Structure 1
């Protein structure tokens, strides 16, 4: 049975977004790939005109909280960013002869081809969850920023370079422009790693 698609209005409230690399391949454990990918995220953000409220680029997936000016812009943004970053990841992987190239090729299935595409880097879809109130907003913010701690990559969120945590502590992440949402107040982030949406 084919799943029905529905479009959420990404211009009214923030949207929590998750997208994953095929086979959970840890491509972003390599700083050069992570930094290129975040640079492409910033370029796509600027071109489409969306607000990135929070983000974390983990070794094999991405979480973000975003808001757009027009309904449907989130899909346009994700398509553009994932397409560009996939090409960049493939170029880097070929240049540095990474073993995961074969996994990218196999991920398209037995046909080995999808139109002109010969490799799949990202899973084709992305998951979204509307953020409808301040409680969900802070749960999402904490989930994003404490993800590297929960995954035992770092001791504290301040130690992970590929997230917006520093933007909420008076600094900057150095890769992506982060916009504060109206729900953000002096309350700030909790120290809990157990926040859920």
Structure 2
């Protein structure tokens, strides 16, 4: 059995990818308000900062900063996933169940990367904000409504037209060059 090694760094900053079990599903954007509520509920119970996020139809990417002395990002994701699933079921959306009788909405695990420095943070945030273009959902990141890019633009961190036509040539947005 594979042993997953997680870097539990108290007060750390982490990049995450979480994916729905059914990659053809659009549940995350179809029920974005329920997902937002799951984030708020979890943040009230177990504080964290959501530094950057993009929600796509079947997966999401996020950068999360944990409070000083706290390294438990796994519990936060468990709570978010569980609250969202319960809300979707309560809304009457039919969900299949796995062999144990649990709702099969999310993939069991998630991918995580510890942010090492400011440059790494910027690279991951760029990847997050450009992801809807990468998946050909829009031609410009600003056209995707489920992204913290809009918050970054309002705060003056990035221009409103960041990542528009031609911007893809300025870097690989966190992906390995092959």
TM range (shorter): 0.7 to 0.9
Alignment of 1:117-156 (within 5 A): 117=102, 119-156=103-140
Q: Deviations over 1:69-115 (max 9, x none)?
A: 133331111011111111112233xx25x5xx3xx32xx2xxx325x
Alignment of 1:1-197 (within 5 A): 2-24=1-23, 25-30=25-30, 33-69=31-67, 70-92=69-91, 95=92, 101=95, 104-105=96-97, 108=98, 112-114=99-101, 117=102, 119-170=103-154, 188=158, 191=163, 192-193=167-168, 194-196=172-174
Distance 1:19 1:44 in 2: 16
Are the counterparts in 1 of residues 12 and 71 from structure 2 also a CA contact under 8 Å?
A: no
Q: 1:187 to 1:54 in 2, by over 3 A?
A: closer
| Root-mean-square deviation (Å) | 2.2
Structure 1 unaligned blocks of 5 or more: 172-185
Q: TM-score, normalised by structure 1?
A: 0.74
Structure 2 unaligned blocks of 5 or more: none
Q: 1:41 to 1:187 in 2, by over 3 A?
A: closer
Residue in 2 that maps onto 1:178: none
What is the CA-CA distance between 1:5 and the residue it aligns to?
3.2
Q: TM-score, normalised by structure 2?
A: 0.82
What is the CA-CA distance between 1:151 and the residue it aligns to?
1.4
Distance 2:151 2:29 in 1: 22
